[in-house]
């Protein structure tokens, strides 16, 4: 089996890193300021687990905090420093180490090469994969079918031999299902994920995939 993993909010807790960056940025740029939970919830609602238009979301967030000085472009560029708040997760790294060797492991992630490679380095995940595919490098963003096809073609496999593991219904689960791949939804890192998934299996944390893989053997 070829197991294709998403990165953000699947293998790494991107949302927690974003919140930590926001707290740091907000409190260091506003003396004697604190961040209450209500504001954080509003921020995460706008951010929508990272699946948002960056400029539109930045404008809405700046409006929420009554910031009339910072531009949306400046805010978005600064928010990319969330990467500095990503650190290794022992459980995830151990899990990837224990995946049986007869399975092939690939990573499929949207974003820039520089940004996603730094996330992989900070989380110590870069050593685990037989193939790492970043959208900027290959020219296709998920959910475009070519992003998935280019991976399983490199392993000379067909969709029925592949498993997509991700957090996004739109970018991971739906396109994988349309191609005929099996799918697992990982929802533990998500904010406000209340909709029923169309994935074959839904789990809270990627380490729970162990029992599913065991059943497939």
pLDDT tens for each residue of 98-152? 998 899 999 999 999 999 999 999 999 999 999 999 999 999 999 999 999 999 9
The first and second tokens of residue 136, run together, are 């900027």
What is the pTM assigned to this prediction?
0.94
Statement: residue 24 has pLDDT above 80: yes
d(CA 91, CA 125): 11
pLDDT at 121: 97
Statement: residue 204 has pLDDT above 60: yes
Residue 175: domain span: 2-13+87-216
The first and second tokens of residue 123, run together, are 């989380």
- β-strands 162-166, 2-5: how paired? parallel
Give the least confident one: 89-98, 160-169, 191-200: 191-200
Is the same domain home to 117 and 59? Answer: no
pLDDT at 123: 98
Here the CATH number for the domain that contains residue 205 is 3.40.50.1000
The secondary structure of 1-41, three-state, reads: CEEEECCECCCECHHHHHHHHHHHHHHHHCCCCCCCHHHHH
Beta-bridge partners for 166: 185
Give the least confident one: 26-35, 69-78, 108-117, 161-170: 26-35
Statement: residue 216 has pLDDT above 80: no
- The interaxial angle of helices 37-47 and 54-64, nearest 10 deg, is 160
Diameter of the chain by CA atoms? Answer: 58
Is the same domain home to 194 and 94? Answer: yes
Bond preceding residue 143 cis, omega within 30 of 0: yes
Is the same domain home to 119 and 174? Answer: yes
Neighbours of 55 (CB within 10 A): 13
Comparing CA positions, the residue from 160, 117, 158 lying closest to residue 135 is 117
Is the same domain home to 181 and 113? Answer: yes
Rg of the chain taking only CA atoms, in angstroms: 18
Give the least confident one: 6-20, 39-53, 185-199: 185-199
Name the domain boundary from 34, 69, 85: 85
Provide the number of structural domains found in the chain: 2
Is the same domain home to 67 and 110? Answer: no
* For the chain, percent of residues with pLDDT exceeding 70: 100
Is the same domain home to 103 and 204? Answer: yes
Statement: residue 217 has pLDDT above 60: no
Comparing CA positions, the residue from 208, 183, 1, 6 lying closest to residue 101 is 1
Is the same domain home to 115 and 133? Answer: yes
Statement: residue 194 has pLDDT above 80: no
Is the same domain home to 176 and 104? Answer: yes
């Amino acid at each position: 089996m070829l197991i294709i993993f998403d990165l953000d909010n699947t293998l790494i807790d991107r949302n927690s890193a974003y919140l930590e960056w926001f707290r740091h940025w907000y409190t260091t740029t506003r003396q004697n300021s604190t961040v209450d939970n209500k504001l954080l919830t509003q921020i995460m609602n706008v951010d929508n687990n990272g699946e948002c238009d960056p400029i539109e979301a930045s404008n809405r967030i700046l409006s929420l905090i009554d910031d009339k000085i910072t531009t949306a472009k400046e805010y978005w560029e600064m928010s990319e420093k969330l990467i500095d708040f990503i650190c290794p997760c022992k459980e995830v790294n151990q899990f990837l180490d224990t995946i049986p060797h007869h399975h092939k492991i690939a990573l499929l992630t949207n974003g820039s090469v520089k940004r996603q490679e730094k996330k992989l380095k900070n989380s110590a995940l870069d050593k685990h994969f037989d193939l790492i595919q970043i959208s900027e490098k290959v020219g296709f963003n998920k959910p475009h079918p070519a992003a998935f096809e280019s991976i399983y073609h490199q392993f000379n496999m067909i969709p029925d031999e592949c498993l997509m593991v991700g957090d996004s219904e739109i970018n991971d689960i739906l396109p994988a299902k349309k191609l005929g791949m099996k799918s697992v939804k990982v929802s533990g890192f998500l904010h406000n994920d209340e909709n029923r998934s169309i994935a074959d299996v839904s789990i809270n944390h990627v380490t729970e995939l162990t029992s599913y893989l065991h059943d497939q053997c």
